Structure 1
Amino acid sequence: MVAGAGRSSRTVLVTGAAGGLGSIMVRALLSDGHRVAGADADDAALGALSESLGRPPGLLAIACDLAAPAACREAVQATVAAFGSLHAVINNAGIGSRSVPAARVQSQPALDEIPCDVWDRFFAINTRAPMLLCQEALPFMRAAQWGRIVNVTTSFRSMLNALPYGASKAALECMSAVWARELGQLGIGVNVLVPGGPTDTAFVPDIGMARSSMLRPEIMAAPIRWLLSDSSDGFHGRRITAARWPDGGVGVEAAVVASRPIGWPELAGDAVWGHAPTAAENGGAST
């Protein structure tokens, strides 16, 4: 049995499709027979990906800059026009430290060293684009009475130590928890998927760590295949750490081992008002 066993063929929109993590997920989903619309700002890299796969008919390349709201709408429209449906959105596109002015790539910029336009672009791509894409995709998921939203955020360590990247991904994490509560009852699973640490892709700059000791991007394949399968029905409101996915693991058992609730709900215990969220309020149990 493969990680994506128990599946139907779906239409999936993957953003950041030409990058290290994105290309791995595109390949994995195509191998399971899904139709994939891959969106990326790098037209040449998209072409290279398609060429390396033999230009399969099940792959639609969409070159766009998701910082523009119109591009988010057009990406969904292009997907539906090509395949006649849209069942899932994988929000993987993002910009990181390489998009901070060159002098700041190797260090955390001080508060007064982050240009307003750089801050705005981080949030436009890493936070706003996922919201707009999901808004556009929801009517098609509701019509199908089945859907998946998978948001790629980052580690808690990065959220607390890397600006503006960490703040933009922390916002996406919070949004994911809210969406899980709202959409889970509609048959639309909302989950977060992260590698689990620095991953050997072009997205991660030189951080003084040997590339050979970083995580391999291929670890994203098994969990994304399962999340897009029928056997993941009812699994929502969870943060899967791909590096914790058991080797050869399949099904909800592997997902439970590799996951925890989206966000860090235990922090609610510090509040002096209200109450700590129940499992249902935090997005539901694992199944």
Structure 2
Amino acid sequence: MDNPATGNYAGKKAVITGGTIGMGLATAQALLEGGAEVLVTGLNPRNLEAARRALGPRAHIVASDAGSLSDIDALATLVREKLGHIDLLHINAGISTLEPFEQVTEAGYDRAFAINTKGPFFTVQRLVPLMRAGGAVVVTSSIADEGGMHGLSVYSATKAALRSFASGFAAELVGRGIRVNVVSPGFIDTPTLGVADATAEERAEFIRLGDQITPMRRHGTAAEVARAVLFFAFEATFTTGARLTVDGGLGQNLTPAAA
């Protein structure tokens, strides 16, 4: 993986939900390489153990359900004990399921909104009191937070709500000197491609489709998303309430020459 580190983060403290795999892990690695102290959360035991190996002893690896309010409360207590204060809260945990709307169940619907929307809201609410003035909240959304895509109706709705929440957070927190911005990735090359329960065939089709419809004719890398997160976190000091797409031009209605 190419190195996404863009600066010196010595003395900075960051919390990344969903930081044990993919884009969150790449962001954690860059922060650690720059000298930051980082706490990441995840739920899958294999991913938690892999993150321990990848990030090393300087990282705090925490098992936490992003959709559980009791886990979020426990996380806030732990962050206060381990870090004291934070400079960056990166809301990155999320789930998606490829299914036509006729197949959506109430349980699946509720779980998607719990992890992608309710959990992020209360995570920000609980952790912002630990954030210093000049700090940043960076939210991972998706280019699916606008428009529509077959099989992703619920996912798109959760991300649209999350993007709206981020705008509200930006208005609520600007007076405290805290910036809130959104990164909306397109097709990104991660272990799950963003759809953890997809079959190998579905994943292969997802790769083919992404490379075909993305104007840059490829998937992005987790490191490229991490650079956007770090830009919002530490470089874009006069920017709040903004959304940056990291999508190879997919959301810009570009029409490249045929491959």
Which TM-score band (shorter chain)? 0.7 to 0.9
Residue type of the partner of 1:189? R
Match of 2:207?
209
Matched, 1:56 2:57: yes
Please list, as runs of the form range in 1=range in 2, the aligned pairs for 1:135-174 lying within 5 A after superposition.
135-141=125-131, 144-156=132-144, 160-161=148-149, 162-174=152-164
Question: What's the counterpart of residue 84 of structure 1?
Answer: 84
Which residue identity is paired with 1:222?
Answer: R
Please give the per-residue CA displacement for 1:80-107, whole angstroms capped at 9, x wherever unaligned.
211222222111100101xxxxxxx4x4
1:77 and 1:227 mapped to 2: Cα distance?
A: 26
Paired with 1:36 and 1:170, the residues of 2 have a C-alpha distance of 28
| Deviation of the 1:19 alpha carbon | 2.0
Q: In the alignment, is the contact (CA less than 8 A) between 1:66 and 1:125 conserved in 2?
A: yes
Instruction: Tell me which residue corresponds to 1:134.
Output: 124
Matched, 1:234 2:238: yes
State the partner residue of 2:46: 44
- TM-score normalized with structure 1 length: 0.73
In the alignment, is residue 108 of structure 1 matched against residue 100 of structure 2?
yes
Name 1:33's counterpart in structure 2. Answer: 35
Seen in structure 2, the aligned counterparts of structure 1 residues 7 and 40 have a Cα distance that, compared at 3 Å, is: closer
Gaps in structure 1 of 5+ consecutive residues? 98-104, 246-259, 261-287
**TM-score (ref. length: structure 2):** 0.80
- Between Structure 1 and Structure 2, the one with more strand by share is 2
User: What SS does structure 2 have at the residue aligned with 1:209?
Assistant: helix
1:253 alignment partner in structure 2: none
For 1:6 and 1:60, the matched residues in 2 are separated by: 20
The farther-off stretch of 149-158 and 178-187 is 149-158
* 2:126 is the counterpart of 1:124: no
Checking the alignment, whether the CA contact within 8 Å between 1:12 and 1:36 is kept in structure 2 is yes
Q: Kindly tell me: are residues 34 and 243 of structure 1, through their superposed partners in 2, closer, same or farther at Cα, counting changes over 3 Å?
A: farther
In the TM superposition, what whole-angstrom CA distance separates every residue of 1:108-133 from its partner, at most 9, and x where no partner exists? 232xx321111111111000111111
Shift of 1:157: 6.9
Distance 2:224 2:189 in 1: 11
Q: Residue 239 of structure 1: CA displacement? A: 0.8
Q: In the alignment, which residue of structure 2 is the partner of 1:281?
A: none
- Contact 1:17–1:46 (Cα < 8 Å) also in 2: no
Give the Å deviation of 1:64.
1.5
Question: What letter matches 2:115 in structure 1?
Answer: I
What CA distance in whole angstroms lies between the structure 1 residues aligned with 2:184 and 2:166? 13
Q: How many aligned positions are there?
A: 230
- Flag the 1:19–1:5 CA change in 2: closer, same or farther, 3 A: closer
SS in structure 2 at match of 1:173: helix
In 2, Cα distance between the equivalents of 1:15 and 1:36? Answer: 11
Query: Are the counterparts in 2 of residues 91 and 150 from structure 1 also a CA contact under 8 Å?
Result: yes
Task: Give me the identity figure in percent.
Answer: 25
1:146, 1:73 → 2: CA distance? 24
* SS of residue matched to 2:101: coil
RMSD over equivalenced CA pairs, Å: 2.5
- Which residue type is aligned with residue 37 of structure 1? L
CA separation of 1:69/1:157 partners in 2, compared to 1, >3 Å: closer, same or farther? Answer: closer
